[in-house]
Amino acid sequence: MYTSSYRARVRLCGALLVACTACSCSDEVPTTVLLRIEQGSLKSAPSRLFLWVYGDAGRYVDQQRVPKAGAPELPGEVVLYPKQAPDRLRLRVEAKDGLNVLLGYGVTKVELVAGGQTGARIVLQQKPPADQDGDGVPDEIDNCPTLPNPNQDLCDRDGGAGGGDGPKPSDGGSDRGPDTVNCDEDDDGYRSEVCGGDDCNDKLKSVHPGADESGPGSTVCTDGIDNDCDKKTDTGEEGCRQCETANECIDLNECTKDDCVDAVCQNPPTISGQSCDDKIPCTQSFCQRGKCVTDTSTTYCQINGQCYRDGFKGSDGCVCDTLKSDSDWSLPPNGCKINGQCYGNNAKDPVSGCHCVPSVSTANWSPTSTQCFINGTCVNDGEGVVCQTCDPNVSQSSYTPIATCQKAIVLVGANGVYTGNLGGEKGADEKCRLSAAAVGLAIKPLAFIGTKSGRNATSIVPAGQRLLPVVNARGETIYSTWIAMQEGKASQVKSFYTFDGTKIDGKASAWTGMTSSGEYSSVDCNNWNSDSQIVKGRVHGLAVTPTPFNVLVANPYSSTCDTSRALLCVWIPPPKKLP
C-alpha cells in the first residue's frame, strides 16, 4: 500500500518527471505535489495504476506505473518532485485490472507553489471523461480540446500544435503562426478567437458562444457586452427586447404609468393621491408610490354583499363593529346574538320560552331568575307537569315535587283530546299511562269512566283511600275527600290540568259514562269503542259559572261519539314515590 508509510516518488529530471523510490536525481528542489488517489465509483480495486503528467512544456510523464510493482491499495499517495517547476501541472490516472482491462479514469489540475508542497486529489470514476478531439487527453486537461494534440505541445494561434518559441510538433505537423500560452484563458471551455475558436472575450468566463443573453432589464441586457458572441449587444438581442409600444407594457396597476423605452417596459409611479381600486370591498383607496393604498380613516363592514359604515345598527339590533368583525353583524351592547340573530335584553324565544339574559349568556337563550331550564325548555315559576313544579328557589335545572300530591288522589287529564272510541276500558287506561310516561312517570293511572265491567266513581278508588283529599295536577285541593265528590259537595277550585301541565279549557267537557251520582251509564259509545255520529256517550262539564262546582253534577249530557273530549285519569301516588 503506498500511503504515508510508502509513497511512490516521481522526480522531475530535465524535461521529464520520473518515478524513484530512493531518488538519485541531482539538485533536489523542495517544490512537491502530494497526489492522493481514491477508488471512487470503481466496483473493484484496480491491479495497476498508470500516471500521465502534462505541463506548459508538453507531456512530462507518459503512462508510468505507480507503484512500479505490485497492486496499489487505495486510497494511496504519489509524491511528484518537479526539478524545474512550471506554473501548472495537469494530471491523468488510468486504473486497470490484471488482464490490462481499463477500469476507470481520473484527472485534475495543480497550481504549483514554488518551494512548498501542493496537495491534489483524483477520485477514480467508471465513466470515461469527454475527449472531443480523440487524442487521449480528456477535454478537462487538454490545452487544445478541439484539435488532436496527444503530446500537449503549445497550442498555436492558428490552431496548430507547437511552433514559435515552443517545441516542435511531435506529430511532424507544420507551424501556422506564432504561439499563445493559453487558448482558454478564462477557463470557460471555449477556445479564443486568436486560437481559431469563437470565444469573443477570453478574459470573461461568462462571455462565450451560447451564453444566456436574455431577460429584458437584466444585467446581461444592460452591460454593454456581447455576452453570447453573436455580434449583438443588449437590446440588439431579441431576448433583451421587451416591447415595441407602450400597449405591450400594461401591468394592470392603476398607480403606474405604462411606457416602452429603448425596447424595455418602464412603469413609473403616477401622482400620489389618485383614486384607485384596491380590490377590497367597502373601502376607499388612493395611489401612493406606485401602490394602491387603503384609506383606513373610515371603516366598513361587508355583510351579505352589502356595505355598512362602522357603527351602523341593523333592524334586528345587531351593529357593524369593525373592531369585532368586518364581515358579520356584531353583538349589540347589553344584548344577545343567537344563531346569527341579534336580540335585545330580555327578548323571549317563542319556541323554548327562554330569554336573552346577557349576564348569563350572550350566545344562547337562558332562563330568567324566575324560570327553570328543564329538557331544553324554560318553565315559569309555578308551572310544570303533574305533581311537579318549577321552583327556582329550590332548583333551576329540575322540577320540584309537589308535597300536597302525597297521600292524595290526583284527578288529572290525559294529554290531548279523544273521540268516544277510546279502545274500550283497557284502551282508555293505556291513554292515561302513555300520558304519564310522556313526562317521565312509569305509573298505571286509571281512566275516570264508567264501563260495563263495573267501573264507576266508587269502584275506581279502593275503599281504604276514599277519605284522601282529591287534588289536581298542581296539587291544588279540589275536594276534601273522594267521598265528598261522590256526595256532590262543591269543589274548592275549578281548574284541571293534563299530565304535561296544560290547562284544560274551562269550557271543555270530559267523557265519563257516569250518572250524576257516579254510577255507570249505558250511554258509553258502545263501551268506548265507537266514534260514530249516531252513537252517543255521557260527558260532564269541567267548569260551571258561578263556582264552586262538582265534576259529576255539572252539566251532564250526551254527545255523539265522533266529537273530541277530554279524558280524566285517576292516580294515587304511593307515599314518597313522587319523582
pTM: 0.45
Q: Across the strands, what pairs with 120? A: 35
* Position 352 in a domain: no
pLDDT beyond 50 at 321: yes
Please give the residue that has the higher pLDDT: either 491 or 422: 422
CA 379 to chain centre: 44
Phi, psi of 528 (to 5 degrees): 65, 40
Find the CATH number of the domain harbouring 67. Answer: 2.60.40
- pLDDT band with cut points at 50, 70 and 90 for residue 554: low
pLDDT beyond 50 at 3: no
* Position 225 in a domain: no
> Does residue 431 contact residue 446 with C-beta atoms inside 8 Å?
no
Please give the residue that has the higher pLDDT: either 239 or 379: 379
| Per-residue pLDDT, 499 | 93
Tens digits of residue pLDDT in 200-254: 888 888 888 888 877 777 788 877 888 888 888 877 787 888 788 888 888 888 8
Q: Are residues 410 and 320 in the same domain?
A: no
Grid cell 317521565 is found at 440
| Per-residue pLDDT, 388 | 87
Grid cell 265507537 is found at 530
Mean of the pLDDT values across residues 279-298? Answer: 82
The Cα 570–Cα 446 span in angstroms is 5
| Per-residue pLDDT, 456 | 92
Q: Are residues 471 and 560 in the same domain?
A: yes
Q: Choose one of 123, 152, 182: the last residue of a domain.
A: 123
Q: Number of folded domains in the chain?
A: 3
* Position 186 in a domain: no
Residues 6+ apart with CB under 8 A from 523: 513, 536, 537, 538, 558
Tens digits of residue pLDDT in 211-225: 887 777 778 887 788
CA-to-CA dists, residue 491 to 487, 488, 547, 554, angstroms: 11, 9, 8, 11
* Position 167 in a domain: no
Find the CATH number of the domain harbouring 487. Answer: 3.10.100.10
| Per-residue pLDDT, 24 | 40
Range of the domain at 412: 402-579
